[in-house]
Chains A and B, each alone.
Chain A
Amino acid sequence: MIEVTNLTKRYGATTAVDDLSFAVRPGIVTGFLGPNGAGKSTTMRMILGLDDPTSGSATVGGRALRDHPAPLAELGSLLEAKAVHPKRSARNHLRALAATSGIPYRRVDEMLDLVGLTDVADRPAGQFSLGMGQRLGIASALLGNPATVMLDEPVNGLDPEGILWIRGLLRSLAEEGRTVFVSSHLMSEMALTAEHFVIVGRGRLIADVTARELAAMAPAADVLVRTPEGGRLRAALALDGVTVADEPSTAPDLTPGYQVIGLPAEEIGRRAAGAGIVLHELVTRRNSLEQTFMELTQGAVEYGGHETSAAFPASPLPTHRPSTNRKAA
C-alpha cells in the first residue's frame, strides 16, 4: 500500500509535483502514467525517501519508508537500471544489498535464478546489457520479499521476451497480494498489465481510475465509411447530433472516406442500404487506452465534464502527439 497525500515538490520556480494525492492498493498492478517530465520519477523518489517533499507526505504500508525497520522488506524498488559498480559482480552487488538488512545469501542466488542471471552472476555488472541490468535491478527490488514493489520504467531496454517475462512477473507479484506500482510513459505497455491507472501530467493528477473507467473516458468512437457517393451518404445521415466529416485521404486511388460520429455502424449500414448507396468500407473505430491517455495528457480540458478527469491542461508532449487525430486501433 502506497499513500501519497498532497505531495508537492518544487525546485526553485519549477513545480515538479503539484499537490498530488492517490493511493496504490495491494493485489493489483497499478500503472503510473504520464509523459516524460510529468513528475513520475520525482514522485517515486519521494515515496522512497530519496527526495524530501516541499509539502505533503508519502507513506508505504502506513509509514514513511525511513520509519520501517526493514525497508527492503517493505518496499522493493527499481529506479535506475544500471545502478551498479561496473567492476563488481552481480552476485556481490546483490549480496552487499542483502547484507544491509540481514537477508540470507541464499535469497540472492534465488533472485539471480528468478531473473535468469545465474550464469553471469560472477561477471562484472558493467559488462551487462541494458536488459540484463534491468533484470539485475528487478532482482534487487525483490531481494527483501517486499510487500510493495515499485518499478520505474522496467521494460526499458528489455527485448520482447523480457517484456513478456516482466508482464507475467508483475501480474504474479500482484496475485501474491503485493502492491505493485509501475511507471511508464507508454500506455500501450501498461494497458496489458495494469488494472488501475494513476495518470499525471505536469506534476498534477489527471486521472486515478480503473482500466474500465479509463476506457469509458474515451471519446465516442467514430465510424469510417468509404463510398463513392459521399453527397448521398451525407443526405441519408443528416440527423440531429450526427456529424459527417471528410476523412483525410491516405492514398489517391482510395475511395473517399467519411468519419461519422453519432451513429452506430449498424444504423449507418441500414440507412445506406435503404438509400441504395454503395459502401466500400464500414468500420467502427474505437479509441484505444493509448489514445485516451494521449488525449488526456495533451489537454484534459476537453474532458473537463467528466468527474474523474481534471479540468486543467496537462503537459502537451510533442513527441507523443499522434500525427493524425485518431486511427483505428
Chain B
Amino acid sequence: MPVLTPAPTPTATPFVASGPDADTGAPAAGSRVADRSAVGVTPRRVLAAEWLKFRSVRSNLTTLASAAAATVGFGMLFSAFAGSGDQVGPNRAGADALAMSLGGVNLAQIFVAVLGVMFVTSEYGSGLIRTMFTAVPTRLPVLGAKAAVVAVATTVVMTVASFAAFLGGQAVYGVPEAAMSLGDDGVIRALFGTGLYLGGIAAMGVALGFLLRSAGSAIGMVIGTLMVAPLLVRLLPSSFSDPVSRILPSTAGEAFRSVATSSDLLSPAAGAAVFTVWVVGLVGAAALAVRRRDA
C-alpha cells in the first residue's frame, strides 16, 4: 500500500528533488491537500465543475447570447411586419400575435441545441472527457451536470428573452388592435413554456453529444429532428402523419409554447408530457451509453 505521509505544513519534503526548477522555490509536497478526507467527488461538486467549464469558454456565452438576440430581434421584426402587404400564411393580418413575436425561436432552438452538443463533443474531440471520467469514474455525474448546467442556463436566459421578445413584439405589432398582453389567456404559460422548451432542446443536444460523440453527426441529428422530421412526416398519409406529427419534439413543444388551439396539436399539458419524455428518454439513453461504452 502506498505510504503517503500527510504533510500538514507547506514546507515539508520538496516536491521536486532535482531538475531545472528545483531551486526556484517550486511548491513542496506540503502543498498537498491538507485534509484528504475532505476531498471526494460529489454530484454537487461535479455540477460546480461543469458550471465553471461552461462559463469559462466565451463561445458558450456568445452562442446563448445569439439565441437570445435571435429570439428578440426576429420576434420584433416579424411582429412589426405583421399584417403588412399581401403576405399570406402566418404573417397575415390577425395572425397569432404571440406566435409572431416568438418567431425567432425557430432559429434560437438550433443555437441552443448546438450549444448543448458542443459542450460535450468538444471534450470528446480533445480528450478532455476522458480526463473528466478519470476524475469522476462513475461518469453519470458528468452527464447529469452537463445536462443540468446547459439546460438551466438556457432556460433562464431564454425565458427572459421570450418575455422580451413578446413585450417588444407586441409594442411594435403591425396590427396594433391584434396585439396581445401578458394578461391574455395562456400567454404567461406559453412564455415560460418557451424558455423550458429551449432548455429541454439544449439538454437533448447534450444527450445527442454523448450518444454520437461527434459534433457533425449530433448537430445533423438535431436539425433532422427539429426541422426536417416535421416536413417528412407531412408527406405520409394523414392517418399516419397526424398522430406522429403531434408527438415530434418540435410539435409537442409547440403545444405548450403557443396559445394556438389546433387539431394538429396536443393540449399544452399533453405536449409538455410528450416533450419531457423525449428529453428524459434521450438523456437516459445517453446515460446508458456513457456507462457501458469505453470512453
Contact B45 A102 (CB under 8 A): yes
Q: Which of B1-25 contact A (CB under 8 A)?
A: 1-5, 13-22
Number of B interface residues at 8 Å Cβ cutoff, please give it: 54
- B32-40, B76-84, B87-95, B215-223: which one contacts chain A? B32-40
> A145 at interface (Cβ–Cβ under 8 A)?
yes
Chain B binding surface, main DSSP class = loop
Contact A71 B128 (CB under 8 A): no
> B133 at interface (Cβ–Cβ under 8 A)?
yes
B137, chain A: closest CB distance, angstroms: 4
- A107-115, A237-245, A246-254: which one contacts chain B? A107-115
Cα–Cα, bound, A229→B131 (Å): 64
Contact A75 B134 (CB under 8 A): yes
Contact A50 B33 (CB under 8 A): no
Number of A-B contacts (CB under 8 A): 189
- Interface residue from A50, A62, A77, A89 paired with B56 (Cβ < 8 Å): A89
| Contacts A50-B133, A169-B19 given; does A26 touch B3 at CB 8 Å | yes
Residues of A within 8 A of B39 (CB): 70, 72-73, 101-103, 144
Number of A interface residues at 8 Å Cβ cutoff, please give it: 69
> A202 at interface (Cβ–Cβ under 8 A)?
no
| Contacts A73-B33, A96-B49, A100-B49 given; does A166 touch B134 at CB 8 Å | no
Q: Which 10 interchain pairs have the tightest Cβ spacing?
A: A168-B19, A83-B127, A66-B137, A168-B18, A147-B2, A172-B17, A145-B32, A99-B49, A80-B127, A165-B19
Interface residues of B (CB under 8 A from A): 1-5, 13-22, 26-27, 29, 31-33, 36, 38-42, 45-46, 48-50, 52-53, 56-59, 122-123, 126-128, 130-138, 294-295
Interface residues of A (CB under 8 A from B): 1, 26-27, 45, 48-52, 61-62, 65-66, 68-73, 75, 77, 79-80, 82-89, 92, 95-104, 106-107, 110-111, 113-114, 116, 140, 144-145, 147-148, 161, 164-169, 171-173, 175-179
**Could you list 18 A-B pairs, sorted by A, with CB under 8 Å?**
A1-B1, A48-B134, A48-B137, A49-B133, A66-B137, A71-B137, A86-B126, A92-B53, A96-B52, A99-B45, A100-B136, A101-B41, A113-B27, A140-B131, A145-B33, A172-B13, A172-B14, A172-B18
